[in-house]
Each structure stands twice: as C-alpha cells, then as structure tokens.
Copies of this chain bind each other. A is one copy, B any other.
Amino acid sequence: MQQLKLFNSYTGKKEIFKPIKKNSVGMYVCGPTVYNNVHLGNCRTFISFDLIFRYLKHLGYKVKYVRNITDVGHLENDSDFGEDRILKKAKIDKIEPMEVAQKYTIDFYETLSLFNVLPPSIEPTATGHIIEQIELIKKIIKKGFAYEVNGSVYFDVLKYDNKYKYGTLTNKKIDELFSNSRELSGQGDKKNLQDFALWKKAEKKHIMRWPSPWSDGFPGWHLECSAMSSKYLGNKFDIHGGGIDLKFPHHECEIAQCEAANDIKPVNYWLHANMLTLNNKKMSKSTGNNILPGEIINGKNNFFSKPINAEVIRFFILQAHYRSVLDISEKALLASEKGFKKLTDSLSLLENIKPSDKTIGFDIENWEKLCYDSMNDDFNSPILISNLFSAVKFINSINDGKSSVSINDLKVLSEKMKLFFFEILGLKITNKSDENINSKTDDLIKLILKYREKSRNERDFKTSDIIRDDLEKLGIIINDTESGTNYNSN
C-alpha cells in the first residue's frame, strides 16, 4: 500500500505525510464566522476536512482536530476598519451580539449534522480566548514586530518581511500581494498600509469589548486562530486547513504572527479546500446567485426542480476532489442522486449475495489496494468512488449470474464497501422502512396534490394555501415549479 501523501499548499507539492509525534495528528481548521446561516461553500470546506479527519482516524492516528468559532473581530470586507460582522447583524436583528452568535452557531451545528460531519475534538470560540490573544500580542510586541498607536496594536508587516519574508504561503512578494487596492483601503493609524490590526480600541458604541494593556477593545480576526491553534496544538503542529479564500491575507497573517512570536513556522502542511460555484458563477448574496444548504434539502429554491437529500449533497461534494473547483447544478446533482442510488442499491444487494467456490471476474485484493491508493493520494475521494462503482458493477454481475465470488472475497468486499461508504466517506442511508412507507404515503400525498391542483386551476388560492399549510404541519414541504408540484417529506 502507498504511503499517505498530502498536497501541501505551502510547498505547492504532494508530500509524504510525516506527523510530528508518532501516531498523533494535530489539525486546525478555520471555522465559520457566526453572523449568518452557514453557506454551502463553507459546508464543502467542512465536509472536505471531515473526510480528512475520518481517514486519518481510520489510519490509526490519534487526531486532535481543532475547529474554531469566530464570534468577534471579523470585520466587514475582512478589513481593519469595517464594522464587526456580528455587531452589524445584532443591530439589524435588534438582539445582542452573543444572541447572534448563539443563533448561527446552532444553525451551523444543525446544518453540519445533516451532512453527517463529525464534531471536532475541540471547538474554541474567539471571545473565549481573549486572554490568550492578549498574551500573544504582548509576545509579538516584545519581539519588536508590533506597535501600539492610540490604544490599537498593529503588526509590522514590513519589519517581519525583512527578517522572515511575508507571503511564503501564496509564494508571492509583498508588492504583488498588496497591489490590489482593496487591501489598501484605509491606513488609519498604521505605519504602513500592509500592517494589520492585532488589537482594536473599541469606539464608545462598540459593546463587544474587553480590557487590555492598550485599551478597552477587541482582538483582530487573524489573531484568534494563531492564539487558539498554539494553545491547543502547540507552536508547531501538523496540518492547518481552511477554504482557499483564506490563504491571503488570513493564513499569511497567521504564519507571520506565529513566526514573529515563536521564531518558527507554525504549520507543517497547509491544506486548502477549493470553491463551490452555482451554475458556473460565484455564489453571492448580492447577485442572488446563492443558495442555502437547507433550501436545497427542502426544495424551496429557484435553482433546482426538486428537493435533494443531504446524503446526496455530501456524495455530490465528495465526487469532486477537495482541491478542484466544484460547480453545483441541477444536472450534476441529479446525476449524483442517480449514482448514490446505484451505490446504495448495490449495498443492499451485497447483503443477499451467495458466495461460490471461487471468484471470477474481479480482483478483490487489487481493488482494495486501489481504494486505499486513491485516499492515500491526497484524499482523492472521486477516484475512491469510481473504484466503489467498479465493485457495484461486479456485484450486479454476480447478481446476474455472470460472475462469482468466494466466501473470503465476499467478506472483504462487504467489509470494505461498508468501511468506505459509511466510515470514510461518511455517507448514510436514510431508513429503509422510511422508503417503504414512502410508496404508501406517496399515493396519498399525490392525491392531495391533485386536489390542490384543482383548487389552483379554479383560482381558489385560499384552499390551495390551506392544503400547503396542512401538509407542512405533517412535515411535507411542497414546491411549485413550472413543471409541476414536488414535495419533500421528512
């Protein structure tokens, strides 16, 4: 079997994974800023690192997986001068910042749990680590890489760059990185435009504030990840992950902060999950090209003609490699749904396969090797899945009497199919009994939809709305589209 290789964004190369401590892995992944419903692109990132977490554990590593919750300090436009995202939302919703954080932390947990994402080992919050952040700032100031102005503290990027080089993760020079005007959108008290805030003095109206040696204020966004990763994983740890959009400035700043404080690079392997696009365009609230995970699952959206199960969405996401851009579209989702059904049908079939004297038509040992090789090759889940489909073909062929399988091979096949499907890919099958009742209740729901259709044709919208509400009370969500009315039942 091949050794596990990771694509290290830092070196731009696939490298054999060597943990710092034998049999243990320390992994930090940047979590969400809890100021709105978690978006689908974020879900892709967390599903990707869930795959990685699951596989590392399967390989026998004791994995300490830390994923943070950002509940303060992440300002609008990722800048040093915007409004705090959570504070802004609190004003809009007329509740307290921590009520905003609570609401969207719960949304985050519930959504990830729909996608069968395992909880990390530790889930620290930014507000829960103000002291650690203050201590880290003190250390950086002492080393000479940060300075205070008017109660705020800034990181001196040019001074750091002189000694250590800023931009080593993106492999760019500082001039290239900051040529974009957005990054230069305000200097304020900073010595240089490239500097970034470690601590911000709070204005009077800013209710999220803590005392510090410099002012009553709040920490900068980049700082929290450095403070929390080093607290729980040490000054040097194995894997740091996150969405690709965080490479610059967030991850470059993390490296700078840690190196300035501790004189070592904090991370051995940087892993970045790529973007998710919707119908080949960037997802964005402002353009309306945007969909929430729950909206795909309940079918209430303007993009897809029917609801799609959370399992199928997870499967769809894992059918692409985490480093590729993935486009979500009706066509692609329906293809995944079909593929997912093929796979689960085959798992059922497998339960009833009768072994023969020998295996004909398939090399189980080689198949198992190929499955592991795909995962060992930078967690290549699409190749793993295509290997699972080879097995599906073989299983169908046994069922058709065209191939056969020995008792030992059947055991391996069954065990490994389940291992990869459930444990590694983290997929699940919705209850079989649920499927059975679907056919019973299907007919009744269709009758009701027929009556509703009649009301609609008669322009009796009051009745059709009542029927919609009646069904919703039973957990049956209906969705009117141009091609007819669909429903999703939970």
Contacts and interface: CB of A to CB of B under 8 A. Distances in A.
Interface of A: 64, 95-96, 98-99, 102, 106, 109, 119-125, 127-131, 135, 210-211, 232, 431, 433-434, 437, 440-441, 443-445, 447-448, 450-451, 454, 463, 467, 470-471, 474-475
Contact of A128 (B121, B127, B445, B451): B127
A64 B474 CA distance: 30
Contacts of A106: 119
B130 A475 contact: no
A448 B448 CA distance: 7
A93 to B, nearest CB: 12
A361 to B, nearest CB: 28
A10 B99 CA distance: 29
A440 B474 contact: yes
Given A96-B64, A128-B125, A128-B127, A444 B448 contact: yes
Contacts of A125: 125, 128
A445 B96 CA distance: 45
Given A125-B128, A131-B131, A434-B433, A232 B475 contact: no
A487 B10 CA distance: 54
A135 B447 CA distance: 63
Nearest to A120: B102
A64 B124 contact: no
Given A474-B443, A474-B444, A124 B109 contact: no
B98 A211 contact: no
A437 B444 contact: no
Given A443-B474, A451-B451, A102 B119 contact: yes
- A-B pairs, top 3 by smallest CB distance, nearest first, are A128-B128, A444-B444, A98-B122
A119 to B, nearest CB: 5
Residue among A99, A129, A210 with the highest chain B CB neighbour number at 10 A: A99
Contacts of A451: 448, 451, 467
A211 B433 CA distance: 54
Given A444-B445, A448-B447, A448-B448, A102 B131 contact: no
